[in-house]
């Protein structure tokens, strides 16, 4: 399931990058930095990615999750720092539901 989540995130990042045209988001991998230090996304682009992913996760797994909540924002290490960390965070949320 982790690989499926990573594929969904990578696809969403690729689609978002069609608008952003960010060189650092070309050919995203699990280590692609998304947000934070040296991240490719500003806060507005991150919100766009989060809303897209919430819709996609709902469609793919028939579960509704909220990615940007107090739990995510209060973590010592942001789940939005790269694709790997985001996929692990989504997997954890899906397992909890």
pLDDT tens, residue by residue, 46-73: 999 999 999 999 999 999 999 998 888 8
pTM for this prediction: 0.94
CA-wise closest residue to 93 among 64, 52, 62: 64
Can you give the CATH number for the domain in which 60 is found? 1.10.1200
**pLDDT over 90 (residue 74):** no
Angle between helices 43-61 and 83-96 (to 10 degrees): 40
**With bands split at pLDDT 50, 70 and 90, how would you rate the model's confidence at 28?**
very high
Domain that holds residue 91: 2-96
Number of structural domains the chain divides into: 1
Tokens of 84: 């790997």
Return the pLDDT at 6. 98
């Amino acid at each position: 399931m982790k690989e499926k989540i990573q594929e969904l995130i990578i696809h969403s990042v690729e689609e978002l990058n069609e608008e952003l045209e960010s060189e650092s988001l070309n050919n995203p991998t699990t280590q692609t930095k998304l947000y934070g230090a040296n991240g490719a996304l500003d806060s507005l682009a991150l919100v766009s990615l989060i809303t897209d992913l919430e819709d996609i996760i709902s469609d793919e797994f028939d579960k509704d999750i909220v990615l940007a909540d107090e739990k995510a924002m209060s973590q010592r290490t942001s789940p939005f720092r790269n694709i790997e960390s985001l996929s692990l965070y989504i997997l954890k949320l899906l397992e909890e539901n």
